[in-house]
Amino acid sequence: MIIDMHCHIEFGEKSSNKGHEALRWQVEKFLKQTSADVALLQPYSIKDKSFNGYLKLNKELADYIKKSSHYGLARIDPVSLSKEETEKLIRKCIKMGLSGIKLHPLDGYLLRDLSNYKFIFDLAQELKIPVMVHTWFGAENSKLGLKREPLKVVSKLAKNYTIPFIAAHANISEDMDFESAMQTPNLYVDISLQEFGPFKEYIEQNNNKKLINRIFYGSDFGVCKLPFFQQKDIITPQKIRENLPPIVADKILRRNAEKFINDYMRRK
């Protein structure tokens, strides 16, 4: 079994008229192609950035996962919504059966702004839910001088809490602060959309069992489709299986995520 810890699903305007059946077909077809049985799903696109718009989007996800083997993270927007609306949205999403929350720069936040949203992390701590933070090495971070240290930012935040934080798109072969950041025991990383060559080299040179136990495979499907993975040197389950020691590969593809889900995720 493989668990994909970073997989997107579309709802609303971009969805087919066939609704959930078509959406299920898109996601399940990709997961089957990559031999993944379980996914941590997150909504991606949204046009209506009102409270009701986000509530509708997250309810569609909650309804979808109830009929599947998957788990879901709520999409929230502390920039467009007030503090009160954001807190209300989070509580409703968890009651609907979603397992945690995701912060993404498409909703206006940047890594330098994380300290402005202490109320979100305090609420996550109260509800005992995981938080995923987008740490892409793109323009939104490099302009802020954060290109090589996003894990340092998330690690500093995670130290204030006991709930788990997932740093999405962690480039562990380039981030200068990876090993020091990972001394924070409640910080996990997913390696979606990272190059396999440097990742393999890093694993071979730094076979640190404690760090390997907190690395997840993720595809970022919904943003990137299968041809992208086939054409680029992107981390895939096949490359992990064929090039890493079996015990390490099994941890990254399944066992780490399985333990995380058992320890921290909830479903209703």
Of 254 and 137, the one with more pLDDT: 254
pTM for the predicted model, two decimal places = 0.88
> Can you tell me the distance from the alpha carbon of 194 to that of 218, in angstroms, rounded to the nearest whole number?
10
Place of tokens 């090039």: 243
pLDDT attached to residue 15: 45
Which residues constitute the domain of residue 149?
Answer: 2-264
Contact 166, 132 (CB under 8 A): yes
Q: How long a stretch of residues is the chain?
A: 268
pLDDT attached to residue 140: 46
- When pLDDT is cut at 50, 70 and 90, the band that residue 117 belongs to is confident
Strands laid side by side in the 2-9 sheet:
2-9, 36-43, 71-75, 100-103, 131-134, 165-168, 187-190, 215-216
Give yes or no for residue 59 having a pLDDT over 60. Answer: yes
Domain total of the chain = 1
**Environment class of 109 (CB within 10 Å of its CB; exposed 0-12, middle 13-18, buried 19+):** buried
Look at strands 100-103 and 187-190 and give their pairing.
Answer: unpaired
pLDDT attached to residue 54: 93
CATH at residue 111? 3.20.20.140
pLDDT attached to residue 198: 86
CB atoms under 10 Å from CB of 63, counted, come to 14
| pLDDT tens digits for range 16-54 | 444 445 466 677 888 888 889 999 999 876 778 899 999
pLDDT attached to residue 155: 86
One-letter amino acid for residue 187 of the chain: L
pLDDT attached to residue 71: 96
Contact 217, 190 (CB under 8 A): yes
pLDDT attached to residue 162: 97
Give yes or no for residue 146 having a pLDDT over 60. Answer: no
Q: Highest mean pLDDT: which of 15-19, 131-135, 261-265? A: 261-265
The mean pLDDT of 209-215, rounded to a whole number, is 84
- When pLDDT is cut at 50, 70 and 90, the band that residue 263 belongs to is very high
List, as one string, the DSSP characters of the chain: -EEEEEEEE--GGGS-TTTHHHHHHHHHHHHHHTTEEEEEEEE---S--SHHHHHHHHHHHHHHHHTSS-EEEEE--TTTS-HHHHHHHHHHHHHHT--EEEE-GGGT--GGGGGGGHHHHHHHHHHT--EEEE---SHHHHTTT-TT-HHHHHHHHHTT-SS-EEEET--TTT-TTHHHHTTSTTEEEE-TT-BHHHHHHHHHH---HHHHTTEE----BTTB-HHHHHHTTB--HHHHHHHS-HHHHHIIIIIHHHHHHHHH----
Give yes or no for residue 139 having a pLDDT over 70. Answer: no
Give yes or no for residue 104 having a pLDDT over 50. Answer: yes
